[in-house]
Structure 1
Amino acid sequence: MSDFIALARLLAQPRLDAHTVAWRNGRPLPFPEFAAQAAAWYALFAAEPALRFALYLDDSAQFAAALFGAWHAGKTVYLPGDAKPATLRRLALEVDGFAGDLPAEFEPLQTPDPAPAPSWGALDERRAALIVFTSGSNGEPASIPKRLSQLAREVESLEAQFGAPLGDAVVHGTVSHQHIYGLLFRVLWPLCAGRAFNARVLTFPEEIATALARGPAVLIASPAHLKRLPDNPGWAEAAAQLRAIFSSGGPLSAEASAHVEKLLGLAPTEVYGSSETGGIASRRRQQGRDAPWQPLPGVALRVDPATRLLYVRSPHLPDNVWIDTADRARIDGAGLVLEGRADRIVKIDDKRISLTALEKTLSASPLLQDARLIMLEGGRPALAVVAVPSEAGWELFHGEGKRALNQALRALLIDSIEARVLPRRWRYVWSMPVNSQGKTTQAMLSALFDPRRPHARPVARTSETVTLALTISARHPYLRSHPEAPPVVPAVAPLEWAELFGREFFALPPDFQRMEAVEFPQPISPGATVTLQLDFVEADGCLGFTIDSEQGRHASGRLYFGSGR
Structure 2
Amino acid sequence: MTDAAISLCRLLTAPRSTDSLVSVDGERAVDWETFTLHVARLATVIAARGPGRWLLFTENSYTFAVGLLAIWQSRAVAVLAPNGQPGTLSELGRATHGLISERDRLAPGLDRVDAIHDAGPASWRWIDLDRTAPSLELFTSGSTGQRKAVPKTVANLEDEVAGLERQWGVLLRGREAFATVSHQHIYGLLFRILWPLTVGRTFHARTYLHPEEMVAPMARAGGCYLVASPTHLSRFKGFSGVERLAPQCQPIFSSGSPLDRATAVALQNAFGSAPFEVFGSTETGGIAWRRQNGGADALPWTPFAGVETEADPIDGLLRVRSPYVSADDGVFTLADRVEFLADGRFIAGPRADRVVKLGDKRLSLPDMEVALGEHGFVSQVALTVLDQAGGTRLGAAIVLTPSGREALARQGRRAVSQALLQTLEPYWDRVVLPRLWRYVGRLPTDPQGKVTVAGLRALFASPYDSAVVSPEVVDESITDGVWQRTLRVPETLGYLEGHFPGFPAVPGVAQIQWVMQIAHAMTGGDVVLERIEALKFKNILRPGELFHLSAEMSESGDRVAFRLWNETSLFSSGRCVLAPSRRGAS
TM-score by length of 1: 0.79
Corresponding residue for 2:452?
441
2: CA distance, partners of 1:120 / 1:271: 34
2: CA distance, partners of 1:386 / 1:66: 39
2:88 aligned with 1:84: no
Answer whether contact 2:384 2:395 (CA < 8 A) is retained: yes
2:20 aligned with 1:9: no
Corresponding residue for 1:514?
none
Q: Which runs of no fewer than 5 residues in structure 1 stay unpaired?
A: 461-468, 492-518, 530-548, 554-565
1: CA distance, partners of 2:270 / 2:175: 20
Corresponding residue for 2:361?
351
2: CA distance, partners of 1:321 / 1:520: 71
Answer whether contact 2:536 2:573 (CA < 8 A) is retained: no
Corresponding residue for 2:150?
144
Answer whether contact 1:250 1:437 (CA < 8 A) is retained: no
| Secondary structure, aligned partner of 2:113 | coil
1: CA distance, partners of 2:504 / 2:442: 37
Answer whether contact 1:473 1:526 (CA < 8 A) is retained: no
Answer whether contact 1:175 1:182 (CA < 8 A) is retained: yes
Aligned positions, number: 499
Corresponding residue for 2:164?
158
| Alignment CA distance shift 1:550-1:151 (3 Å) | farther
4+ residue segments displaced more than 6 Å: 469-472, 485-491, 519-526, 549-553
Answer whether contact 2:236 2:242 (CA < 8 A) is retained: no
Answer whether contact 2:496 2:504 (CA < 8 A) is retained: no
Q: Please say which of residues 319-328 and 449-458 is displaced more in the overlay.
A: 449-458
Corresponding residue for 2:498?
478
| Alignment CA distance shift 1:207-1:310 (3 Å) | same
Corresponding residue for 2:226?
219
Selected match of 1:375 from 374, 385, 388 = 385
2:304 aligned with 1:296: yes
Per-residue Cα deviation, 1:332-386 (whole angstroms, up to 9, x for no partner) = 1462211121122223333333323333333344554443221111221112222
| Alignment CA distance shift 1:400-1:234 (3 Å) | closer
Selected match of 1:323 from 311, 321, 332 = 332
Per-residue Cα deviation, 1:518-546 (whole angstroms, up to 9, x for no partner) = x99999976379xxxxxxxxxxxxxxxxx
Per-residue Cα deviation, 1:476-516 (whole angstroms, up to 9, x for no partner) = 5612489xx9978699xxxxxxxxxxxxxxxxxxxxxxxxx
| Alignment CA distance shift 1:147-1:526 (3 Å) | farther
Q: 1:174-253 residue pairs with structure 2 within 5 A?
A: 174-214=180-220, 215-229=222-236, 234-253=241-260
| Alignment CA distance shift 1:275-1:400 (3 Å) | same
Q: Please say which of residues 389-398 and 442-451 is displaced more in the overlay.
A: 389-398
Answer whether contact 2:504 2:543 (CA < 8 A) is retained: no
The residue type equivalent to 1:427 in the other structure is: R
| Alignment CA distance shift 1:457-1:147 (3 Å) | same
Answer whether contact 1:126 1:148 (CA < 8 A) is retained: yes
The residue type equivalent to 2:253 in the other structure is: F
Q: 1:381-400 residue pairs with structure 2 within 5 A?
A: 381-390=392-401, 397=408, 400=411
Q: Which runs of no fewer than 5 residues in structure 2 stay unpaired?
A: 472-488, 510-530, 545-571, 577-586
The residue type equivalent to 2:309 in the other structure is: L
2: CA distance, partners of 1:396 / 1:240: 38
Answer whether contact 1:39 1:114 (CA < 8 A) is retained: no
Give 1:225 deviation, angstroms: 1.5
Give 1:18 deviation, angstroms: 2.6
Answer whether contact 1:257 1:288 (CA < 8 A) is retained: no
2: CA distance, partners of 1:182 / 1:523: 57
Q: Please say which of residues 38-47 and 446-455 is displaced more in the overlay.
A: 446-455
The residue type equivalent to 1:336 in the other structure is: F
2: CA distance, partners of 1:426 / 1:481: 21
Give 1:288 deviation, angstroms: 7.6
Corresponding residue for 1:107?
111
| Alignment CA distance shift 1:424-1:311 (3 Å) | same
Answer whether contact 1:313 1:322 (CA < 8 A) is retained: yes
| Alignment CA distance shift 1:301-1:77 (3 Å) | same
Give 1:429 deviation, angstroms: 3.5
| Secondary structure, aligned partner of 1:67 | helix
Q: Please say which of residues 356-365 and 162-171 is displaced more in the overlay.
A: 356-365
| Secondary structure, aligned partner of 1:381 | strand
2:282 aligned with 1:275: yes
Give 1:80 deviation, angstroms: 1.5
The residue type equivalent to 1:331 in the other structure is: F
Answer whether contact 1:5 1:193 (CA < 8 A) is retained: yes
Give 1:408 deviation, angstroms: 4.1
Answer whether contact 1:18 1:30 (CA < 8 A) is retained: yes
Answer whether contact 1:213 1:239 (CA < 8 A) is retained: no
Give 1:245 deviation, angstroms: 0.9
Answer whether contact 2:157 2:324 (CA < 8 A) is retained: yes
Corresponding residue for 1:542?
none
Answer whether contact 2:57 2:100 (CA < 8 A) is retained: yes
The residue type equivalent to 1:309 in the other structure is: L
Corresponding residue for 2:430?
419
The residue type equivalent to 1:109 in the other structure is: V
2: CA distance, partners of 1:21 / 1:474: 48
Q: Please say which of residues 386-395 and 446-455 is displaced more in the overlay.
A: 386-395
Answer whether contact 1:479 1:487 (CA < 8 A) is retained: yes
| Secondary structure, aligned partner of 2:4 | coil
Corresponding residue for 2:56?
55
| Alignment CA distance shift 1:28-1:470 (3 Å) | farther
Per-residue Cα deviation, 1:121-146 (whole angstroms, up to 9, x for no partner) = 21011122111122222344322111
TM-score by length of 2: 0.76
2: CA distance, partners of 1:294 / 1:520: 65
| Alignment CA distance shift 1:49-1:490 (3 Å) | farther
| Secondary structure, aligned partner of 1:120 | coil
2: CA distance, partners of 1:286 / 1:67: 37
| Alignment CA distance shift 1:14-1:200 (3 Å) | farther
Give 1:222 deviation, angstroms: 1.9
| Alignment CA distance shift 1:488-1:241 (3 Å) | closer
Corresponding residue for 2:520?
none
Corresponding residue for 2:417?
406
Corresponding residue for 1:72?
73
1: CA distance, partners of 2:410 / 2:262: 25
The residue type equivalent to 1:311 in the other structure is: R
| Secondary structure, aligned partner of 1:360 | helix
User: Which of structures 1 and 2 has the bigger CA Rg?
Assistant: 2
Corresponding residue for 1:25?
26
2:135 aligned with 1:129: yes
Answer whether contact 2:438 2:465 (CA < 8 A) is retained: no
Corresponding residue for 1:527?
542
| Alignment CA distance shift 1:440-1:526 (3 Å) | farther
| Alignment CA distance shift 1:47-1:453 (3 Å) | farther
Give 1:255 deviation, angstroms: 0.9
Answer whether contact 1:310 1:328 (CA < 8 A) is retained: yes
Give 1:200 deviation, angstroms: 2.0
Identity of aligned residues (%): 35
Q: Please say which of residues 93-102 and 362-371 is displaced more in the overlay.
A: 362-371
2: CA distance, partners of 1:456 / 1:40: 50
| Secondary structure, aligned partner of 1:163 | helix
The residue type equivalent to 2:361 in the other structure is: K
Give 1:43 deviation, angstroms: 0.5
| Alignment CA distance shift 1:551-1:124 (3 Å) | farther
Give 1:202 deviation, angstroms: 2.3
